[in-house]
Homo-oligomer: A and B are copies of this chain.
Amino acid sequence: MAKNTKVSITVIRRLPKYYRYLSNLLDKGINRISSAELSRLTGFTASQIRQDLNNFGGFGQQGYGYNVEELHKAVAKILGLDREYNVVVTGAGNLGNAIANYGGFKDSGFNIVGVFSRYRDKDNTHIQNMKVRPIEELESFIKENKVDIGIITTSKENAQAVANIYVKAGIKGIWNFAPVDLVLPEDIVLETVRLSESLSTISYFLNEENNK
């Protein structure tokens, strides 16, 4: 992550977990929770939870615990989940298809407004109900549709070129699935999902005995 921030990235990466558990509690109609209970659920210590949430103002009350709805709303606001985002996907292979069609993102306010591909032939002009557009239209589309986030599901060879178009067109957040380290200006937020690396962590542990 290129940006500087006063809150450590470790704390920020814990927030979505709080958010997920708070959403589950709300679904169950639970409106009040102690930091001890929240600790049992999340696996974080009660003192860590208090510290984490104090970074953003502290939402608990001594002797009462947390109001789930308020805390959920506050964490949503911190995570920027209280607004909507326009998102494009470039790379219309299996992974791009999966991402473009995953309902969970839309429910969280991430609206896929366009899917783009370099390899758009007659068999590949639609992903389910969405038109796949040629890469040549990407830059103007981003500008016209005020796109906030660009997803990259291309091959590693094409990923940097797509990222460059995203940046040129004014996108500030990039979610990259290609197995490559993108070079980007400092003010661009980059998250890279490394699927192959996650999988090889499993194979490492399955073979750990052999390495001793």
Please report the total number of A residues contacting B with Cβ < 8 Å.
61
Q: Which of A29-37, A100-108, A129-137, A160-168 contacts B (4 or more CB under 8 A)?
A: A100-108
Instruction: Report if A185 contacts B (CB, 8 A).
Output: no
Residues in chain B near residue A205, CB distance under 8 A: 1, 3, 5, 173, 189
Determine if A79 and B204 form an interchain contact, defined as CB atoms under 8 angstroms apart: yes
Is A197 in contact with B105, judged by CB distance below 8 angstroms? no
Is A206 within 8 A of B79, CB to CB? no
Cα separation A56 to B174 with both chains bound (whole Å): 35
Roughly how many angstroms separate A1 CA and B210 CA in the complex, as a whole number? 18
Query: Does residue A13 face the partner (Cβ distance < 8 Å to B)?
Result: yes
Whether the Cβ atoms of A80 and B193 lie closer than 8 Å is no
Tell whether, in the assembled complex, residue A85 and residue B19 are in contact, meaning their CB atoms are under 8 Å apart: no
Q: Which of A45-53, A62-70, A91-99, A117-125 lies at the binding interface? A: A91-99
Q: In the complex, how many angstroms separate the beta carbon of A41 from the nearest chain B beta carbon? A: 9
A149 within 8 A of B: yes
Q: What is the CA–CA distance of A199 and B16 in the complex, to the nearest angstrom?
A: 9
Asked whether B110 lies within 8 Å of A199 as measured between CB atoms, the reply is yes
Known: A15-B204, A56-B211, A173-B205. A191 touches B181 (CB 8 A): no
Pick from B108, B196, B199: contact of A199, CB below 8 A: B108
Type the 1/0 row for A197-211, where 1 means its CB is closer than 8 Å to any CB of B.
111111111111011
- B residues less than 8 Å from A149 (CB atoms): 199, 202-203, 206
Apart from A104-B179, A105-B199, A175-B198: 9 A-B pairs, beta carbons within 8 A: A16-B194, A16-B197, A78-B211, A95-B102, A105-B196, A174-B202, A175-B202, A191-B199, A191-B201
A: which residues have CB within 8 A of B?
Answer: 1, 3, 5-7, 12-13, 15-17, 19-20, 43, 56, 77-81, 83, 85, 94-95, 97-98, 101-102, 104-105, 108-110, 148-149, 172-175, 179, 181, 189, 191, 193-208, 210-212
